[in-house]
Chain A
Amino acid sequence: AQSVTQLDSQVPVFEEAPVELRCNYSSSVSVYLFWYVQYPNQGLQLLLKYLSGSTLVKGINGFEAEFNKSQTSFHLRKPSVHISDTAEYFCAVDTGRRALTFGSGTRLQVQP
């Protein structure tokens, strides 16, 4: 069975600072990897996904993530955050079953 670990439950950061949200996964088979964002009182929205090819994936709102197979990681980064990036971020994996297994989430709190 696959699992996803998000190491930080909360990440406070000042506006315009860089941020990294960590995600590690375990799976005995190849995986597809995703980051979703959930703004308050809204549904989850896809930020970016890794299916194959280049290990550096760019998504919406200036976010990017890098797939590292040897470290089984898929960390999310943004070089300069805005107040509007305050949200809950979820890492997820799909082992080909076309259903996602989510991590427990990381709350990003951007402070002015």
Chain B
Amino acid sequence: EAGVAQSPRYKIIEKRQSVAFWCNPISGHATLYWYQQILGQGPKLLIQFQNNGVVDDSQLPKDRFSAERLKGVDSTLKIQPAKLEDSAVYLCASSFSWTNTGELFFGEGSRLTVL
């Protein structure tokens, strides 16, 4: 079974530029998450989707971050304009369903460096 796919793995940009990250969850997984992991910290939830609807985006900085999950499958996270403090690893995860308590499956992450 293929895992959660993310791209790009690494991205370096200047501040005020924009960047987009892509995630393809495990086939059949209805719930998709984007987490931000700053160096030395644990992952922090940015947004949670159930199919193509947003369940929780309370910690997403909406003035600069946006995310979508068209057709309830893959998802894109965008940052525009980027700030220095956005340097982090952006992790995508998926799980089978909203009602399934348990395992989230994580991708390898997209590492963003903002100069």
Query: Which residues of A line the B interface, CB within 8 A?
Result: 4, 6, 9, 32, 36, 41-46, 49, 51, 90, 92, 94, 96-105
Q: Are A98 and B31 in contact (CB under 8 A)?
A: yes
Q: Are A102 and B102 in contact (CB under 8 A)?
A: no
- Nearest Cβ on chain B to A68's Cβ, whole angstroms: 20
Nearest to B109 among chain A residues (CB) is: A43
- Nearest Cβ on chain A to B36's Cβ, whole angstroms: 11
Q: Are A104 and B31 in contact (CB under 8 A)?
A: no
If A43-B107, A98-B95 touch, whether A51 touches B42 (CB-CB below 8 Å) is no
Q: Are B103 and A43 in contact (CB under 8 A)?
A: no
If A46-B103, A51-B102 touch, whether A101 touches B108 (CB-CB below 8 Å) is no
Q: Are B91 and A97 in contact (CB under 8 A)?
A: no
Q: Are B4 and A43 in contact (CB under 8 A)?
A: yes
Chain B contacts for A32, CB-based, 8 A: 101-102
If A32-B101, A43-B4, A51-B102 touch, whether A101 touches B107 (CB-CB below 8 Å) is no
Contact of A41 among B93, B95, B108 (CB under 8 A): B108
- Nearest Cβ on chain A to B31's Cβ, whole angstroms: 7
A–B pairs, 13, beta carbons within 8 Å: A32-B101, A43-B3, A43-B4, A43-B91, A43-B106, A44-B91, A49-B103, A90-B42, A97-B56, A98-B98, A100-B43, A104-B41, A104-B42
Chain A contacts for B103, CB-based, 8 A: 46, 49
CA distance A99 to B98 in the complex (A): 9
- Nearest Cβ on chain B to A30's Cβ, whole angstroms: 11
Chain A contacts for B44, CB-based, 8 A: 102
Interface string of B72-115 (1 = CB under 8 A from A): 00000000000000000001010100111111101111000000
Interface residues of B in 1-60 (CB under 8 A from A): 3-4, 31, 33, 40-45, 48, 55-56
Q: Are B43 and A44 in contact (CB under 8 A)?
A: yes
- Nearest Cβ on chain B to A75's Cβ, whole angstroms: 17
Chain A contacts for B93, CB-based, 8 A: 44
Chain A contacts for B107, CB-based, 8 A: 43
CA distance A9 to B56 in the complex (A): 29
